[in-house]
Structure 1
Amino acid sequence: MKPIGYGVGVRKASIIEVFIFVNVKEKQMMSEITFEQIPLILGEIKNRLDRIEGMLTGKEIQEHLEEGFMNITEAASFLNLAESTIYGKVCRSEIPVNKKGKRLYFEKEELQKWVLEGRRKTVEERIGEANSQYLGSRGRRSQY
């Protein structure tokens, strides 16, 4: 039997597999458990079962999405663009996106970085760069 993980994308396990997995882990630890530790261990088992139940019902995935992801409508509103424009940029791979099935998810931080990458330099910044390149090249001698 494969161990059951805790991340998104983990295979769905039956309740029997979960209890067997927890049982095996608990038997390995039984020789080290004291009477005082029993309430802590039961609390940990309850937390694990709640997490597994959340994974099986999709609750954990939904909570993860609510943390920092936006759907297409929210992303369009955030960027002040039409949804059709967002779909076009996704199709041309011009915008960072996560796709799960037929749904698109946008991470707010990635969209902010994407917007900042498109920043245009001011005339003063371009003149400064040109001057530094020109002055830097004047001090070098030709190798030929």
Structure 2
Amino acid sequence: MLQRALTFANAGYRTGLVHDSDTELDAAELAALTAAGVTRFFWDEPNMTEMQIFASIERDGVVPLLDIAREWNGELSVNDQIRARKAGLEVDDGSLGFTVEERGLLGAAATKGKWFKTVSYAEMVGRDVVGPRIEASAGTLVATLHSLRAWMVNGDEAV
């Protein structure tokens, strides 16, 4: 993704790069992006997109995310991936308290299980879960998405 962003920026296009924060960019990569004028949008360290969504989405958004994951990936598979993060964790939606720890486990399971890794799955998550709940959500997800939208719509460079 970094090289693609640099290619577009160096060709004269206004370029933004949305990236996960599970791996830090090194000083040379950051310098190259800055020199090329690429605007960066990223999550809290060490979050990947799925982890940031589960960390930030309002409480009422967690079950719909799990429903989508189970519909696409199978209930048994999703539940097993959740339990693999914490032995004995009950994955019945009614018993999950959606604590910070549980949200972290769900985000890690979603990332490892690639629950939302196709474009169509990601579009549905954004359209049906994140978008309608963005104002009631919190954290870096909200700030980053607002900055990204402002950059796209208004040309704002500040993030």
Structure whose CA Rg is larger: 1
Structure with the larger RCO, 1 or 2 (CA within 8 Å, 6+ apart): 2
TM-score, structure 1 as length reference: 0.24
